[in-house]
Amino acid sequence: ESIPITDIIPPLIEQHKLKAGKPVNFTVNIPNNIAVFADRTHFYNMLGNLIDNAVKYSGDKPYCNISIQAETQTNGIRISVTDNGIGISEASLPHIFDKFYRVPSGNLHNVKGFGLGLYYVKDMMSKHGGSVSVKSQPGKGTTFTLHFKN
């Protein structure tokens, strides 16, 4: 099913603003008429997982900035979610997509979770013929990017 990305962003933003427990500022930069071919529920849940993490790992900052960007490329579409949260150390980055993996960082990390969200995103992106990548700077923030192939 072809899903215009801009269709699913407003309900996602609403949902996560309501449950965040602190102000979340969303910046959305998505060209009109960009659509991905995906299962609607899974597409919604994949982006939902990334936004959920962006809020959960925002640390003790009193607010959370999340930027959602999308762009068309020659071989597909890429959608990224960037936060200004606690970031992920270089040592942990290779493991974060593993089933049940959570970064072991003691008191910084008294946030509930199973370590399944990113495993689901990676698995589901590969089932859609795509992939997911991550870039992070500890203490500064993280960007996850979904790559959909044409």
Question: Which position among 24, 36, 47, 53 is part of the footprint of Mg ion (CB under 5 A)?
Answer: 53
Does 136 engage in binding with Mg ion (CB under 5 A)?
A: no
The residue sitting closest to Mg ion, measured at its beta carbon, is 117
Copy the structure tokens of residue 123. Answer: 């698995």
> What's phi and psi for 117, nearest 5 deg?
-55, -50
Question: Which position among 5, 118, 124, 146 is part of the footprint of ligand ATP (CB under 6 A)?
Answer: 118
Residues 6+ apart with CB under 8 A from 73: none
Size of the site for ligand ATP (CB under 6 A): 22
In the chain, the largest separation of any two C-alpha atoms, in whole Å, equals 44
Residue appearing with tokens 């071989």? 75
Q: What mask, x for binding ligand ATP by CB under 6 A, covers residues 7 to 36?
A: ------------------------------
Report how far apart the first and last C-alpha atoms of the chain are (Å, whole number): 13
Which option in ligand ATP, Mg ion, none does residue 51 bind, with CB closer than 5 to 8 A by kind?
none
Query: Which amino acid, residue 116?
Result: L
- The residue ranges that bind ligand ATP (CB under 6 A) are 49, 53-54, 56-57, 83, 85-88, 96, 101-103, 113-119, 142
